[in-house]
Amino acid sequence: MKKIETIIRPSVFADVRQALALEGIDGLSVTEIAGIGKQEGRIGLFRGNAYTMEFSPKLKLEMVVDDHKVEDIIQALLEYASTGQVGDGKIFILPVEEAIRIRTKERGTVAVG
């Protein structure tokens, strides 16, 4: 099993979610985050006053999947999360040693689905 963590723009989430569903991903954790990287800050406006927003809003998606699904999910993320601009995000793949569903005590890939 692998854990896929990806950071994407909030504006592409609906398309990414639909693409993941087509790949059989029905379990997903989503966290609202803010980050800074090569994408430069933006100018915000509050009550007529301009200010620099160094951190950009992002979404962090986390899912645990069977090894054989990883490449298809990566391709879906690359296709639907990309705008072609700096700040599109990142994909991280991590090994998962074990998964256990607390309610039923099932272990392994059956506990993930």
Phi (first) and psi of residue 13, to 5 degrees: -60, -45
Token look-up 């992002």 returns 58
Give the per-residue pLDDT at 87. Answer: 87
Task: Give the CATH number, domain containing residue 37.
Answer: 3.30.70.120
> Domain containing 26: what range?
2-111
Q: Which residues contact 4 (CB under 8 A, 6 or more apart)?
A: 61, 62, 63, 64, 65, 70, 73, 74, 77, 91, 92, 93, 94
Looking at the 3D structure of the chain, how many domains does it have?
1
Q: What is the pLDDT of residue 47?
A: 76
Tens-binned pLDDT, residue by residue, of the chain (113 aa) = 999 999 999 999 999 999 999 999 988 999 999 887 776 666 667 777 776 767 788 999 999 999 999 999 999 999 999 999 988 999 999 999 999 999 999 999 899 87
Does residue 75 contact residue 16 with C-beta atoms inside 8 Å?
no
